[in-house]
Amino acid sequence: MSQKFNEQHTKKVEEKWTEHSDDDKEPYMSHPPNLEGWQIGRYYAGKSAKKAKKGRVKDCPLGTIIFSEAKTLRIKEMLTSKSLDYLIYLCETDNHTYSHIRDSAFKRQFLSIIRGNLIDKLSNASSELAQLHEMDTSYLKKFKEKQKNPKYTAMYQGRTKLPAFKEKDNLVKLIEENQVVVVSGETGCGKTTQVPQFILDHYIENEKGTLCRIICTQPRRISAITVAERVAEERAESLGESVGYQIRMEKKMPRKSGSICFCTTGVILKQMESDPSLSNISHLILDEIHERDVTSDFLITILREVIKKRNDLKIILMSATLNSEAFSNYFDNCPRINIPGFTFTVTEYFLEDVLQRTKFQCPRFHLPPPEQRSSIKKWTNYRYKSLVKPPEYEEYIEPYARKLLKDGTYAASVCEQLENPLSENINIRLILQLLIYICHKEEQNGAILIFLPGLMDISDLHKLITNSGKFPSEEYIIFPLHSQMATVNQKQIFEPPPLGKRKIIIATNIAETSITIDDVVFVIDCGKIKISNFNIESNSQTLNCEWVSLANANQRRGRAGRVKPGVCFHLYSRARHMILKEFQEPEVLRVRLDDVILTAKLLQLDLPFGNGSDDMRHTEMQNHFFQKLMDPPKMECVYLALDCLKRLNALDDSENLTPLGYHLARLPMGPQMGKMVLFGAIFSCLDPILSIATTLDFKSPFQISLTLEKEADMKRVELADGKASDHLIFHRVLYIHDIHPIPYKFCQDYFLSSYILNLLRDMKKDFMGYLQDLNFVSGTDPKNPLHNRNSDNLALVKAVICAGLYPNVAVVKYSKSKKFIRIRSPENEFFKLHPVSVINKVRDMKAPLLVYWEKINEYIHDASMVHPLPIIFFGDHYKYTFHDHNGLISIGNSLTFRANPHTGKIIEELRDRMNWFLENKITHPSIVNWDVDSDEINILRYDLKVNLLVNLL
Residues 6+ apart with CB under 8 A from 312: 126, 127, 282
Of 170-184, 240-254, 562-576, 601-615, which gets the smallest average pLDDT?
Answer: 601-615
The Cα–Cα gap between 832 and 841 comes to 13
Q: Report the alpha-carbon angle 724-729-735, nearest 5.
A: 140
Q: In Å, what is the CA distance from 109 to each residue of 106, 337, 602?
A: 5, 43, 11
C-beta of residue 879 within 8 angstroms of C-beta of residue 899: no
CATH topology of domain 347-361+420-572: Rossmann fold (3.40.50)
The predicted structure's pLDDT at residue 236: 94
- Where residue 818 falls among pLDDT bands split at 50, 70, 90? low
Question: How far is Cα of residue 699 from the mean position of the Cα atoms in its chain?
Answer: 9
Of 457-466, 478-487, 833-842, which gets the smallest average pLDDT?
Answer: 478-487
Q: Report the alpha-carbon angle 524-222-245, nearest 5.
A: 145
Average pLDDT over residues 208-237: 91
Highest averaged pLDDT of the listed ranges 77-86, 762-771, 842-851:
762-771
Of 10-14, 130-134, 612-616, 782-786, which gets the smallest average pLDDT?
Answer: 10-14
Of 108-122, 375-389, 546-560, which gets the smallest average pLDDT?
Answer: 375-389
DSSP-based helix, strand, coil % in the chain, nearest 5:
50, 15, 35
High-pLDDT (> 70) share of the chain, %? 81
Q: In Å, what is the CA distance from 700 to each residue of 692, 737, 830?
A: 10, 14, 25
- Where residue 341 falls among pLDDT bands split at 50, 70, 90? low
Q: Radius of gyration (Cα) for the chain, nearest Å?
A: 30
Other C-beta atoms closer than 10 Å to the C-beta of 708 total: 12
The predicted structure's pLDDT at residue 621: 46
Residue 429 DSSP code:
H
Query: Which amino acid type is present at position 497?
Result: P
Residue 197 DSSP code:
H
The Cα–Cα gap between 353 and 304 comes to 47
The predicted structure's pLDDT at residue 877: 87
Of 44-48, 416-420, 806-810, 835-839, which gets the smallest average pLDDT?
Answer: 44-48
Pairing outcome for strands 476-481 and 502-507:
parallel
The Cα–Cα gap between 642 and 612 comes to 14
Burial class (CB in 10 A: 0-12, 13-18, 19+), 66: middle
Residue 542, pLDDT > 70, answer: yes
Domain boundaries of the chain, sorted by first residue: 11-25+36-75+825-952, 133-339, 347-361+420-572, 588-605+608-654
Residues 6+ apart with CB under 8 A from 512: 451, 552, 555, 556, 559
pTM flag (> 0.95): no
User: How far is it between the farthest Cα atoms of the chain?
Assistant: 95
Under the phi-then-psi rule, with left for phi > 0, alpha for psi from -120 to 50, and beta for the rest, what region is 626?
alpha
Residue 570, pLDDT > 80, answer: yes
The predicted structure's pLDDT at residue 935: 58
Average pLDDT over residues 887-913: 84
Residue 821, pLDDT > 80, answer: no
The predicted structure's pLDDT at residue 533: 84
What pairs with residue 823 in β-bridges?
812, 831
- Where residue 618 falls among pLDDT bands split at 50, 70, 90? very low
The Cα–Cα gap between 657 and 649 comes to 9
Domains 133-339 and 347-361+420-572 share a fold: yes
Residue 420, pLDDT > 90, answer: no
DSSP, residue by residue, 597-633? HHHHHHTT------SS-HHHHHHHHTTSGGGGSSSPP
The predicted structure's pLDDT at residue 625: 81
The Cα–Cα gap between 859 and 911 comes to 32
- On the CB side of 218, CA atoms within 13 Å amount to 24
- Where residue 522 falls among pLDDT bands split at 50, 70, 90? very high
Q: In Å, what is the CA distance from 103 to each residue of 84, 656, 788, 929?
A: 22, 20, 29, 22
The Cα–Cα gap between 837 and 700 comes to 13
Q: Report the alpha-carbon angle 329-332-334, nearest 5.
A: 80
C-beta of residue 731 within 8 angstroms of C-beta of residue 691: yes
Average pLDDT over residues 389-397: 85
- On the CB side of 97, CA atoms within 13 Å amount to 6
Encode pLDDT of 75-89 as tens digits.
777 666 655 554 444
Residue 118, pLDDT > 90, answer: no
Other C-beta atoms closer than 10 Å to the C-beta of 348 total: 17
C-beta of residue 209 within 8 angstroms of C-beta of residue 144: no
Helix (H) or strand (E) segment spanning residue 810: strand 809-814
Using DSSP's 3-state secondary structure scheme, residue 909 falls into helix
Residues 6+ apart with CB under 8 A from 394: none
The total number of residues shown for the chain amounts to 953
Please, what is the average pLDDT of the chain? 81
Using DSSP's 3-state secondary structure scheme, residue 277 falls into coil
Residue 741, pLDDT > 60, answer: yes
Tell me the backbone φ, ψ of residue 720, rounded to 5 degrees.
Answer: -65, -25
Q: What is the CATH number of domain 133-339?
A: 3.40.50.300
More confident residue, 49 or 824: 824
The predicted structure's pLDDT at residue 721: 86
The Cα–Cα gap between 845 and 860 comes to 17
The Cα–Cα gap between 497 and 499 comes to 6
C-beta of residue 656 within 8 angstroms of C-beta of residue 607: no
Average pLDDT over residues 414-434: 91
Of 259-268, 683-692, 807-816, which gets the smallest average pLDDT?
Answer: 807-816
Residue 20, pLDDT > 70, answer: no
Average pLDDT over residues 788-807: 91
Average pLDDT over residues 766-790: 91
Pairing outcome for strands 243-247 and 250-252:
antiparallel
More confident residue, 751 or 354: 354
Q: In Å, what is the CA distance from 46 to each residue of 58, 139, 231?
A: 21, 76, 62
Average pLDDT over residues 87-92: 46
Question: How far is Cα of residue 455 from the mean position of the Cα atoms in its chain?
Answer: 16
The predicted structure's pLDDT at residue 484: 54
The Cα–Cα gap between 294 and 299 comes to 8
- Where residue 540 falls among pLDDT bands split at 50, 70, 90? confident
The Cα–Cα gap between 192 and 164 comes to 9
- Where residue 814 falls among pLDDT bands split at 50, 70, 90? low
The predicted structure's pLDDT at residue 429: 94
Tell me the backbone φ, ψ of residue 153, rounded to 5 degrees.
Answer: -60, -45
The Cα–Cα gap between 299 and 297 comes to 5
Burial state string for 154-172 with b = 16 or more CB within 10 A and e = fewer than 16: eebeeeeebbbbbbbeebb
What pairs with residue 899 in β-bridges?
65, 887
Helix (H) or strand (E) segment spanning residue 731: helix 727-739
What pairs with residue 316 in β-bridges?
181, 285
The predicted structure's pLDDT at residue 461: 92
Average pLDDT over residues 280-309: 91
Tell me the backbone φ, ψ of residue 202, rounded to 5 degrees.
Answer: -60, -45
Encode pLDDT of 345-360 as tens digits.
899 999 999 999 999 9
High-pLDDT (> 90) share of the chain, %? 36
More confident residue, 595 or 372: 595
Average pLDDT over residues 540-544: 79
